[in-house]
Amino acid sequence: MKTVNSIIVCLFVSLFMSCVESVKSPVSNSKATPEAKQLFARLQKLQDKGIMYGHQDDLMTGNTHWYEPGSSDTKDAVGDYPAVAGFELGEIETGHERSLDSISFAQITEQVKDFHKKNGIITISWHVINPITSQYSGKKSPNGFGSAWDVQTLSADGMNAIKTILPGGENNEMFNQWLTTLSDYFLTWTDDNGRLIPFLFRPYHEHSGSFFWWGDTRCTDEEYASLWRYTV
């Protein structure tokens, strides 16, 4: 596995836990890219001005369109694009060409680059497949068997998916490969000057629910925190 700390963390604004020169607290990640620091500084300034409106998949799908470059439900409604646009990368770890939302990863890259040019803020979610049940035989589905939402088997057998992918777990090597695939994809996100495009990364979200394999009834708080630390 490539060292994810040196590849992914430079891009992720897990910088919410770090700062820039204009903020009193020191930068927690010494490898953060200048672009990531600039994004964090921008967020710091904007928080005193108001609320930024965001829309998940706004540039990819909509009420009357399915990936039509330039289309946006937000723009149709108010005449401009949202300040924040979210993109989903679930199933990129499988090597598929399309996400769990059936959107091409190549198209996501196109829209990430275009939205960055528009000075928009990018957020990335990653509904990573279940590291245990995704290996079982049988037909998989984006929101069912083998997916991030597949928790019934774990509950029935008392299995803890996070333990299996952290160091020492039987699925750690597989998870490392998933992280390498993800980081390689992020490295293709560059602007016209070859600089990496920064974004807000939010994997393993909604931990307080029980509907994902990383939910609060599926692991301890420390195991969840360890998964986050290991990922970034």
Residue 30: the pLDDT is: 80
For 29, the 3-state DSSP assignment is: coil
Would you give per-residue pLDDT tens digits along the chain (232 residues)?
544 444 444 455 444 444 334 444 455 788 888 998 899 889 988 988 999 999 999 999 998 888 888 899 999 999 999 999 999 999 999 999 999 999 999 999 999 999 999 999 999 999 999 999 999 887 777 778 899 999 887 775 678 999 999 999 999 999 999 999 999 999 999 999 999 999 999 999 999 988 999 999 899 999 999 999 999 8
Contacts of residue 209, Cβ cutoff 8 Å, sequence gap at least 6: 215, 216
Residue 27: the pLDDT is: 57
For 123, the 3-state DSSP assignment is: strand
Listing DSSP states for 47-112 in one string gives TTT----EEETTTTB-SS-BS-TT--HHHHHHSS--SEEEEE-TTGGGT-SB-TTS-BHHHHHHHH
Q: Which domains does the chain have, with CATH numbers?
A: 4-231 (3.20.20.80)
Classify residue 162 as exposed, middle or buried by CB count within 10 Å of its CB (0-12, 13-18, 19+): buried
Q: Identify residue 165 by its one-letter amino acid code.
A: I
Residue 16: the pLDDT is: 45
Residue 19: the pLDDT is: 39
Determine the Cα–Cα distance for residues 81 and 27; give it in Å rounded to an integer. Answer: 31
Residue 6: the pLDDT is: 42
For 169, the 3-state DSSP assignment is: coil
Q: How far apart are the first and last CA of the chain?
A: 13
For 201, the 3-state DSSP assignment is: strand
CA 123 from chain centre, in angstroms, equals 7
Classify residue 197 as exposed, middle or buried by CB count within 10 Å of its CB (0-12, 13-18, 19+): buried
Residue 117: the pLDDT is: 97
